[in-house]
Amino acid sequence: MKTSIYGLTFEQLTDWLVDHGEKKFRSKQVWEWLYQKRVTDFDDMKNVNQSCIDVLKENFTIETLSEEIKQESEDGTVKYLFKLHDGNIIETVMMRFNYGLSVCVTTQVGCNIGCSFCASGVLRKNRDLTGGEITEQIMKVQHDLDGKQKGERVSHIVVMGIGEPFDNYDNLIDFLNVVNDKKGLSIGARHITVSTSGIAPKMYEFADEGIQINLALSIHAPNNELRTQIMKINRAYPLEKLMPAIDYYLEKTNRRITFEYILLKDVNDHVKEAHQLADLLMDKKHLSYVNLIPYNPVADNPYERSDKEAILNFYQTLMDRGIKCGVRTEHGTDIDAACGQLRSKQIEKEKARKKGKKEKAGV
């Protein structure tokens, strides 16, 4: 199986080409064709010598994802379901904001963290995505935009699709290096956000990377009892392990951290919990931002979205305590744009179709 060329950082590509007898400067040319002129065929790399093209073709592919479904929402959100070379399906979402175009990428096929409210967690992890497969999601969206010839470009990335990015750490870092590279897509580190459910040791490692990428922590509850109830990862990394990891990150990077908090009706949305959350963040409030997320209900799941009033009270309580926060506006609700929802629907459909076939065949 040939690997995706998008999985290589510029340095890795340079080393690889030199190891294969090519001149060092070729990597700059190849990189330009991939990320600036954005060809999808090695033969279109016009100023690259034939021996280099041949050796690349023998070892790499450019396109490994195929578009299965594409849905466009009235608000401009576009949701893609891509099929991987092994038949697995992933989803990628492009959202339009006044500050630019943001793409939400998937990092794993399913997720093993198993948060009880999440459609992706219910499906378990099948495998990690390679760095190339993560990068290719951005390229697919960019190629789509290129085709429309309006000169639009992906300007922001959120690593908030299916999967736990810190459970696929090395591939995540390669991906971040590729998209951030000034010679290529050049998507600014400050325009990229990685969201984690709180794998504490990796938060230390991330702080040490020395990159300006934003970190978001899915906190979702202000005490261990409640957090363990909705996120079982809290058993391994409870708040007393998470908070020092956050402090380390803040000290090391001096960058603001976002705390994501899904509001689940009558579970974690009382004013009492808003106060507990404020207590928890009080000593770092100058570098904290809480993103309150109205829950997107998932089928076969006990949770409901909080009432508007509860959301407002929660928000107001945090604001009154001096904690900066906002309520996430939704994108593409008419097209199942919440994390993992379109994918899980598609998997259900496939299952139903297979079952129907079996029943028809009398199995």
The two structure tokens encoding residue 104:
């939400």
Binding residue for ligand SAH (CB under 6 A) from 218, 253, 268, 344?
218
91: partner contacted, choices ligand SF4, ligand SAH, none (Cβ within 5-8 A by kind): none
Write the interaction track for ligand SF4 spanning residues 10-49; mark x where CB under 6 A is met and - where it is not.
----------------------------------------
The dihedral through the CA atoms of 81, 300, 330, 255 has a sign that is negative
Number of residues lying near ligand SF4 (CB under 6 A): 12
Quick check: 164 binds ligand SF4 (CB under 6 A)? yes
325 annotated binding-site participant: no
| Farthest CA pair distance, the chain | 68
Q: Taking Cα atoms as reference points, which of 348, 355, 307 lies closest to residue 122? A: 348
Contacts of 5 (CB under 8 A, 6+ apart): 13, 34, 56, 60, 61, 62, 132
In angstroms, give the least distance from the CB of 257 to ligand SF4.
Answer: 17
The binder of ligand SAH chosen from 6, 249, 295, 315 (CB under 6 A): 295
What residue 101 binds from ligand SF4, ligand SAH, none (CB within 5 to 8 A, per partner kind)?
none
Q: Is 300 helix (H, G, I), strand (E, B) or coil?
A: coil
Q: Which two tokens stand for residue 298?
A: 């998932």
Q: Does 195 bind ligand SAH (CB under 6 A)?
A: yes
Interacting partner of 296 out of ligand SF4, ligand SAH, none (Cβ under 5 to 8 A depending on kind): ligand SAH
Among 298, 318, 323, 337, binds ligand SAH (CB under 6 A): 298
Active-site residue flag, 325: no
In angstroms, the CA 198 to CA 233 distance is: 8
Closest of 302, 21, 42 to residue 29, by C-alpha = 42
Query: To 10 degrees, what angle do helices 131-148 and 169-180 make?
Result: 30
Choose one: 5-13, 82-90, 291-299, 317-325; the region binding ligand SAH (CB under 6 A): 291-299
260 binds ligand SF4, rule: CB under 6 A: no
Please give the Cα distance from 251 to 207 (Å, whole number): 9
Alpha helices in the chain, H assignment, sequence order: 10-19, 26-35, 50-59, 119-122, 131-148, 169-180, 200-208, 224-230, 233-236, 239-253, 271-281, 308-320, 341-360
Task: Tell me the per-residue interface mask from 111 to 140 with ligand SF4, x by CB under 6 A, - otherwise.
Answer: x-xxx--x-xx-------------------
Identify which of residues 81 and 113 has a Cβ nearer to ligand SF4 in the complex.
113
Active site residue 339: yes
The annotation status of 52 as a binding-site residue, yes or no, is: no
Residue pair 192/156 in contact by the 8 Å Cβ criterion: yes
Minimum Å gap between C-beta 359 and ligand SAH is 31
| 334 CA to centre of own chain | 21
Among 180, 296, 306, 317, binds ligand SAH (CB under 6 A): 296
Shortest reach from residue 261's CB to ligand SF4, in Å: 12
Say whether 224 counts as a known binding-site residue.
no
Question: Looking at 22, 52, 91, 136, which residue is catalytic?
Answer: 91
Query: What is the rounded CA–CA span in Å between residue 303 and residue 299?
Result: 9
Closest CA to 130 of 93, 104, 163: 163
Q: Which residue is nearest to ligand SF4 (CB)?
A: 121
Q: Binding site membership for [4Fe-4S] cluster: which residues?
A: 111, 115, 118
The residue ranges that bind ligand SAH (CB under 6 A) are 117-119, 160, 164, 195-197, 218, 260, 262, 293, 295-296, 298, 338-339
Known catalytic residues are 91, 339
The residue ranges that bind ligand SF4 (CB under 6 A) are 111, 113-115, 118, 120-121, 162-164, 197, 218
